[in-house]
Structure 1
Amino acid sequence: MGNSALLVMDVQREIVDLADDGSGYLPRLRRAIDGARAADIPVIYVVIALRPGRPDVSTRNKALTAVVRAGLHIEGEPGSEIHPDIAPLPDETVVTKRRGSAFSGSDLDLVLRARDIDNLVLTGIATSGVVLHTACHANDRDLGLTVLADACIDLDPEVHTLLTEKLFPQWAEVVAVEEWLKAVAPR
């Protein structure tokens, strides 16, 4: 499994409000976070934040243009904060990104290299957004990948299923939180 880190991506108040389907997503994610901490696996939080006035958003970017129209992901706004149910500890790293992938417009690569991390465990909202984009980037960087399928959620359950059952297994180990916790639990 190499030197692993758990990435908790885009689990911000306004995103949770849009995506949480009442299936127990946040408590399940919390179990993964607590399990990583107990196993001394670093937990790295990734948030999307666009600058006020949006100088970093091109009109050619359909996804971000839609986000801008909805008034979401504005740096410093209360809705862009990490959801309090899974908040980071004071010594945990929070990386800010400006695009879909956790690597895009962020210093994530620097954080991983500084800690000699070569395997990522992906969680977050949305499966078809940050999880997919980050998996593509990580795969291209030859990083080991694990996707916690039930610690990812998407506005479209069919897309979530397609990605976690068909695409991600080509690049990553795809497991449920409980299965992963058994594998990383301190012995």
Structure 2
Amino acid sequence: MADSALLVMDVQRDIVDIADDGSGYLPRLRRAIDGAWAASIPVIYVVIGLRPGHPDVSTRNRVLTAAVRDGLFTEGNPGTEIHPDVAPRQGDIVVTKRRASAFSGSDLDLVLRARGIDSLVLTGIATSGVVLHTLCQANDLDFGLTVLADACLDTDPEVHRVLTGKLFPQWADVVGVEDWLDAIAP
């Protein structure tokens, strides 16, 4: 799996506070991250960060307008930090994006291509946000795709179920963390 990378997307303090339902999401994600490191699969963190004063947010963007009104996503705020339970280690790459997709307003594609990565393993919050948008764009960019269904989380469990059970399998392998760890074990 030398051509793969694990993307850990939008697992930031404020987002976890809103979405985490106490189902053990962070420990499962931590297992996936530790497994990737053990298998020498690069772990790339993706965070959403908007400029102070929000000159990069249009009032036509309903989601971001509501988020900044609620004080979310501003660069430098403690809530935009990656949650400490899944924090990067020295040498992990952190990419900042400006919209829903991990590719939007970021240098993610450049980082991936420079490293020869052509296959992505997607995790993150929310399934209906960053995971969906990144999956669609990565599919259009011809990346091989895997989604770790139980390392994705959404505030609406039914939306998560429909996306991971019906939509995502059209473009990606959808598996659980434990099955993926078994597949990549050295």
Shorter-normalised TM-score: what interval? over 0.9
Conserved? CA contact 1:3–1:118, under 8 Å: yes
Read off the aligned partner of 1:78 and give its amino acid letter: P
Q: How does 1:10-159 map to 2 (within 5 A)?
A: 10-159=10-159
Q: CA deviation at 1:2?
A: 6.5
Taking the aligned partners of 1:169 and 1:85, their CA distance within structure 2 comes to 29
Conserved? CA contact 2:2–2:40, under 8 Å: no
SS in 2 for 1:96: strand
TM-score, normalised with respect to structure 2: 0.99
Conserved? CA contact 1:2–1:118, under 8 Å: no
SS in 2 for 1:146: strand
Q: How does 1:165-184 map to 2 (within 5 A)?
A: 165-184=165-184
Q: CA deviation at 1:69?
A: 1.2
Taking the aligned partners of 1:64 and 1:168, their CA distance within structure 2 comes to 24
Taking the aligned partners of 2:58 and 2:79, their CA distance within structure 1 comes to 22
Instruction: Provide Cα deviations, 1:153-182, integer angstroms capped at 9, x if missing partner.
Output: 000000000000000000000000000000
Read off the aligned partner of 1:83 and give its amino acid letter: H
Taking the aligned partners of 2:57 and 2:105, their CA distance within structure 1 comes to 12
Instruction: Provide Cα deviations, 1:34-85, integer angstroms capped at 9, x if missing partner.
Output: 0000000000000000100000000111111111111101100001000000
Q: CA deviation at 1:90?
A: 1.4
Taking the aligned partners of 1:157 and 1:66, their CA distance within structure 2 comes to 21
Conserved? CA contact 2:2–2:41, under 8 Å: no
Conserved? CA contact 2:153–2:160, under 8 Å: yes
Read off the aligned partner of 1:114 and give its amino acid letter: A
Taking the aligned partners of 1:159 and 1:104, their CA distance within structure 2 comes to 23
Q: CA deviation at 1:149?
A: 0.1
Structure 2 unaligned segments of length 5 or more: list them. Answer: none
How big is the alpha-carbon RMSD for the aligned residues of Structure 1 and Structure 2?
0.7
Q: Matched residue pairs, number? A: 186
Read off the aligned partner of 1:71 and give its amino acid letter: G
Moved over 6 A (4+): none
Read off the aligned partner of 1:130 and give its amino acid letter: V
TM-score, normalised with respect to structure 1: 0.98
